[in-house]
Amino acid sequence: MIVSKKFYFNFFVALSTLTVSLSLAPANALPGQNITSVVNWAKTRATLPAIKYNSESHGYDGTKGKLYFYADVTSQNGTVTKEGITVSGESSLKFTQKNSKAVKLIQNIYNSNIANDYQKSRNVIKIGRDQFSRGQKYAYITAEVQGGSAFQIISLSSLQEAINNAKFCQTNQCDI
């Protein structure tokens, strides 16, 4: 009898620990997280392609149908600095805060918190084709690209640097 109570107590403690761990684990992968977490998270999203390391772009990317997804990292196994989605050949989907199709895609890929943060974000500046927006949690860069629409998530702390780089590239030749 004592053995079974001890077993059930240990089982309950282990189950409780697992429950707490899973509830604290991120339901999505975003800038600031480890690339391993992002790769594993992408595998759980039916909308996203499988992503793998691309030595040419020094990041992880993949394509599924009309959707291209990428994550830039500090090193091959490092921290994600930005993530992006580009949708090609879909004229009704433009990444703007008022385009319900785009907001729904962001919600399906990430979650409603990110979609709402983007939707409520404040436009900061437009440089060339890039529209920079500041949300409460993240900053966003959107652009109309050849044949499609692009969406990027960056950390709030990276916003000013991204704006400065875009301004610099307006007057200097930059590798994109």
Q: Where are the domains of the chain?
A: 28-171
Q: What is the mean pLDDT of residues 7-22?
A: 39
24-69 pLDDT, tens digit per residue, is: 344 567 899 999 999 999 999 999 999 999 988 889 999 999 999 9
Q: Is the pLDDT of residue 20 over 80?
A: no
* Confidence (pLDDT) at 28: 66
Give the DSSP H/E element, type plus range, for residue 17: helix 2-24
Closest by Cα among 132, 141, 149 to 95: 149
Which tops the pLDDT comparison, 73 or 29? Answer: 73
Whether 68 contacts 61, CB under 8 Å: yes
Strands (E), 16-158: 52-54, 59-64, 67-73, 80-88, 122-127, 130-134, 138-145, 148-155
Q: What is the mean pLDDT of residues 154-162?
A: 95
* Confidence (pLDDT) at 19: 37
